[in-house]
Amino acid sequence: MSVLLLSSCMLAWRAAHAAGTAAELEHAIERYPAASVAPTLAKHAPAEGEVEKDAPFDEAGATKTVGGVRLFPRNEQCFPTETRNIFSEVDKVVTGDDHTPRPMDWFDGHTVPKTARSAIMGQNTWMLWGEGNEAFWGWVQENGYGIADFLVLLNSKNREHRFKDGGLINQPGMVERDTPLTGLGLYIDGPDGDKIKMHAPENDVGADGKPVERVEKPGGAEHDHQTFFEVGDQSLYDQAIAQLGDDGVDPLVYGYPSGVVGLRLWPNPDFFGNSPAAKKAREHWNEQVVSDQGKRYYSTDPRDAAFHADPLLVRPFRVSMACSFCHIGPHPLAPPKDLEHPEWGEMSSMIGNQYWLPSNAFTNLKKPESFLWQFVASQQPGTIDTSLVATDHINNPNTINAIFEVKARLERAAVNPPEEQSKRNLMLRGIEDAPLVTLDPRHTPRVLLDGADSIGIEGALLRVYLNIGAYSEQWRRVQNTIVGFVPQRPFDIATIKAKSVYWKTTEHFRAEELENFFTYVTQSGATVAQPMKLASTEEGLARIAANKVDSDKGRDVFIQNCAICHSSKQPPSLPITFSRDWRTAKADSLGGITLPMDFADWDAFKLSKPWLDYVNRLKHYIDAQPNNGQDFFAKDNYLSTDVRVPITLVGTNSQRAVGTNGMRGQVWDNFSSETYKSLPAVGLVHFFNPFRKTRAVDKWGNNDEYAPPGGGPGYYRPASLVSIWATAPLLHNNALGIYNRDPSVKGRLEAYDDAIDKLLDNSKRAVTDTSAHGAARLVNVYPAQKEAFCRDHPADQSMECSALRGDFRRSFAAAGVADQPGFRDTGFIYRTTKDSWIDFAPRYIKPLVTGVLGERWAAFLFLYVWLLLGVIAIVLIFVGQARLAGGLLALLAAVLAALLRVSGVDTIFAWLWLIPLVPLVFAVGFFRFPNWRFAARVFFVLSAVVFFVIGGTAKAFLDGRLIGINIGPIPRGTPVNLIMNINPDAPTVDLLNAVAGLTRGVLLMQRDDDPEDHSFKALDEFQREVGPALLKASKCPDFVLDRGHWFGQALTDDEKRQLKAFLETL
C-alpha cells in the first residue's frame, strides 16, 4: 500500500512539475524570444560532400593576388616542417625527485626515435606555423574597419613594456630599433647580433644517430625562387629583408621574426610585387609614412582614424599568427626574472597566457572612447571571444586554455559515450578509435568549452587554424566577417580539402606532429602536457608541507563532492546523464548515474541513494588500485570527465554555453558532431536582470529566466583542475578572482587564494560593502601591484581603482544609486568605462553596409530608389495635379508622424513634430486650392531636385566621401553586452523596438549628458529608454560574469580549507 501511495505521489509530482515547467518555459520565451530562436539558415549551401565550385583557392594555390601580382605556384612539399629541436628550452619539465625544470629529454638511448622527432616537429609547428593566415591578418590591417593593425602593435618603441601593456612575450635575441627601417619608416625589432639565431642542442640527432638537418625543399624550377611572388622593386625588397631578423628558420615557410613570439612577418606581395597597383602602393606609402618617419602611422589619436582607413595605404608586411601567440606565457615553475626580457627557458607553450590582454591586440587602433574598444576590453585578461571574427552575436569570451594531461584526456574520451558523425565529419580522421579512423559513432574529446568541437582531436586542431585565419579567402565568403547580421554558411570540409594547399599541408603532415607533441611520453615518463606541480617550487613545497594535514583530508572532500565532474578516473562502466526526473531515474544496465539538470536540486540529490552509492563505488575503485608509491587518483588524472554539463546545473554565466556557431547550418557545422547538433534544450536558465523594478532576487542573486534553443547550446564541459594553483583567475571567462599581472609563484598563489576562496564561498565574491556612513570600499583585493594596475588600466575615475576594470558596483554605492533599478548589480557586469561612440571611418561605410545588405540592395537603397523617385517626380511635373501633390504630402506627413510616435523620439525632442507639420500644412493648402496647378508643378520640380540630391548625397556617404558613422554618446556605465548581444534573428517587432530604444537613448544623451556628472543621472535615463527593449532583443540577456558554480557553498569552513589545500597540490 505504501509503495503504491509513494508511486502515486511521485507521478502526481512529475505531472505538476511538468506543467509548471511548461508554463515557466512559455513565459520565459515570451519575455525573451530572441534568446530562444535558432539562427537563420543560409538559403544556398553545397550538398553534403560536394565541393563548392565558386570557392577560390588559397594564396598558396592561386596564381595572382587581388592586386594582380603574380604568385609562384606552391604545394604541400613547399612547406616542410622544421625538424631541428630549436625550442629545446621551451616547455621545461620536472622529472623524478629533481625539482629543477629541465628541457624535455627526447632520447631513447643514444638516439631520438621517429615519434619523438615528430613531437619536436609538432612543437615547431605550434610555435611558428600560421597556415597562411597572414593573408587574413593582412586583410584585417587594411579592411578590418580600422580596429586593429598588427604592425602598429609591433611598434619597436613599445618593446620595453609589451608584457606590462598587453601580456605579449618578447622574442629573445632581438632588441628595440631606435630608427625606422630604411625606405619603409617602420619600427620593427631588430636582431641582437647572433643571439637571434635559434639553435638545436649539439646532440640533436635522429633515429639513425646522425645530426638532424633542416628539411630541404624538393628540386624543380618551381622551388628555385627566393620569394613566393614576382618582385617589383628588387632593390627596395632586398633592402627591407636585409634589415629584418633571421632567426634560422625558413622564411618561405614561417616568415620573419617580428619581435613578439607567435607573430611572424611576411613581405606583402601587393606592396613589393610587380604590378602597377603595387608600384602605386609603394609610392603612396613613401608619401604618407616614410616622409614623416611613421609619426601618423603609429598614432592612435582618433583624429588619425582616416589615415589608417586610407584604402590606398597598403602595408609593406603582413603578419601571421601561430598558436603560440595566445598560448605561450611565463613558465609557472621557472618564471622570467625580467618579464620584458624573458629567456626561452622561462616560457611555457602549454600554460596559456592568462596575462594576455585582448584589447591590446585586437583594438589597438581604438581608444576607450570607442564602443568597439569597450567591447573587446570587456573580455578579461587571458580570454578571447573565439567567435570574434565569425560572430554569433554574443560577446562570449573564454579562457585561453592550459593544455594538460592530453593522454589522460584521450583515455577518458575512449570511455565516454561515442558521438554520431555526419559524412562531412567523417572526412577527417578520428584517431581516438585508431586504426578505425572512420568509425561512426566515434569517441572524441570536447575541445571547446561548450563541447561543440566534437569530431575528434585532429578535427579540433585543424579547425583552430581556420579560426585564426587560415583559408580566409573562403572563410570571408561563408560569413560576414566581424560584423555578422547575415546568415552563416558552413565552412565546408570538402571544399577546404579541395581548394586549400595550406590546409592539406597541416592535415597530411603537421596534425599528426602536433598530436605527438602533446602526447609523447619520454623514457623518464615526462610529457610536455604533464602537470606543473606547486611542490616543484621552493615556496610551494614549504606551503604544501605546512598544509599537509588539511590536504590529506581535502582529498576525501574532493572525492565526495567534486570528482563526479572533475576526475577522468571514474568507476568502470559509469555513464553520466542528466535529467529533471532524476528522482525517478533507474540505473541502467551499465550502472550509470543520473544527475539533476538544475542546481536547485543539487543538495537534495546529494542526499539520494544513487549519489551515496556512487561515492562509495568511487572510493572502492580508487582503493582497489595499486599505488606504486604514488596516489593513483591524482596521477595521470585529467581532472575532468569531459562530458557536457547543462548550464542550468553549473549556474555560471551562460554566454559561452549558448554560442551557436557549431549548430546545424552554421559556420562550424562540419566540425560538430550530429550528437551535439541533436542535444535537447536545457530549459530555464536563471540570470540577473539589472532593469527589473523589483528588488527581489533569489539566494544566488538571480531574478529572471530565459530559455536557449535546442540543437547544441546550453552546456559546458567541466574545466580541468590540473595545476589550478597556476591558472587563476577562474571560471570559463577568467572573471573570478584578482588579476595581479604577476606570474611569479607568489603572484600566482595570491591570485589562486583569492579566486578559490571566492569559488568556495559565494559571500566573498561581493565587491562592495556599506559602512554606517554609506561609503563603499573594496574587499578581498590584494594590494600587490595595485598602483601600477590602476595607472595602466584607467577605469571609472570617480572611484578608487577596482581589480576588475569595468565593475561599477563600488561607484554605484558611492553615488547612492546602488538600490535603484539598473544599478543593483549582484555580480560583475562589465560596463563601459567612459562615454563612448560606435564609430567607423568613412572608408568602411560601404563594406559595412554591403556586407549586411548585399551590393544590390545597398545600391538600390542608397541610389537607385532616389533616382527612380526623381524620374517619377519629373513625369508628375507635366501630369500631376494639385490634389495629387496634396495627397503625397499628406502621406509623407502621416509616415513621418508615425515614425516619430512609434519610435518615441518625439518624447526626447518635441520640436521634431514640426517636421511632419510642414508637409501637412502644404497638403491642406493643395486640398483647399485644387486649381494650384503652377504650385503643384513647382512642388514636383522641387521634389525631383530633392530626390536627386538625396540620392547623390546617400551615394557619396556610402562611398565614404562624406562623414563617418559616429553613434553616441553611449554613457559611461552602460552594460556592454546590452548592445553586443543584439540578435539579428529576433522577432522583427522586437528588433525595431530595440533600434528605436537605442535611438531615443542616444538622442537623450546628446541632449542631457554631462561628462562630469558622477551621480549617474544620465545613465539612469539612458537605461530606462534602452534597457528593456534591448534585453528583449538579446540573444543572451545574462550579463553577470562571476556568477555560479556554487557547489562548494554547502561545505563547512573546515572542508573548504581542506579542499583548497588539496587543490593546490594537483
Backbone angles phi, psi at 43, to 5 degrees: -75, -30
User: What is residue 220's predicted lDDT score, i.e. its pLDDT?
Assistant: 63
User: What is residue 1020's predicted lDDT score, i.e. its pLDDT?
Assistant: 94
For residue 712 the three cell numbers come to 547544441
DSSP class per residue in 56-105: PP-TTT-SB-TT--BB----GGGSPPP-S-TTTTSS-EEETTEEEEE---
For residue 620 the three cell numbers come to 572502492
Distance between first and last Cα of the chain: 52
For residue 727 the three cell numbers come to 591558472
Backbone angles phi, psi at 101, to 5 degrees: -60, 130
For residue 195, count other CB atoms closer than 10 A to its CB: 12
Residues β-bridged to residue 507? none
User: What is residue 215's predicted lDDT score, i.e. its pLDDT?
Assistant: 80
User: What is residue 773's predicted lDDT score, i.e. its pLDDT?
Assistant: 26
Q: Backbone dihedral region of 703: left (phi > 0), alpha (psi from -120 to 50 degrees) or beta?
A: alpha
Residue 84: alpha-carbon gap to chain centroid: 33
Specify the DSSP element, H or E, that contains 992.
helix 988-1008
- How far apart, in whole angstroms, are the C-alpha atoms of residue 407 and residue 419? 19
Q: Where are the alpha helices (DSSP H) in 356-405?
A: 358-362, 371-377
Specify the DSSP element, H or E, that contains 837.
strand 836-840
Residue 790: alpha-carbon gap to chain centroid: 25
Residue 690, classified by CB atoms within 10 Å of its CB into exposed (0-12), middle (13-18) or buried (19+), is buried
User: What is residue 628's predicted lDDT score, i.e. its pLDDT?
Assistant: 79
User: What is residue 573's predicted lDDT score, i.e. its pLDDT?
Assistant: 87
Please give the C-alpha separations between residue 960 and each of 301, 862, 967, in angstroms, as whole numbers: 20, 12, 16
For residue 215, count other CB atoms closer than 10 A to its CB: 15
Which residues fall within 8 angstroms of residue 606, CB to CB, at 6 or more apart?
Answer: 1050
Residue 441, preceding bond cis, omega within 30 degrees?
A: yes
Residue 20, classified by CB atoms within 10 Å of its CB into exposed (0-12), middle (13-18) or buried (19+), is exposed
Size of the chain in residues: 1066
User: What is residue 804's predicted lDDT score, i.e. its pLDDT?
Assistant: 60
Whether the pTM exceeds 0.85: the reply is yes
Specify the DSSP element, H or E, that contains 271.
helix 269-272
User: What is residue 308's predicted lDDT score, i.e. its pLDDT?
Assistant: 87
- How far apart, in whole angstroms, are the C-alpha atoms of residue 612 and residue 605? 9
Residue 217: alpha-carbon gap to chain centroid: 37
User: What is residue 10's predicted lDDT score, i.e. its pLDDT?
Assistant: 40
User: What is residue 20's predicted lDDT score, i.e. its pLDDT?
Assistant: 52
Q: Which residues of the chain have pLDDT under 70?
A: 1-20, 218-225, 587-590, 767-804, 1011
Q: Where are the alpha helices (DSSP H) in 701-831?
A: 745-760, 786-792, 809-814
User: What is residue 23's predicted lDDT score, i.e. its pLDDT?
Assistant: 87
For residue 1001 the three cell numbers come to 537613448
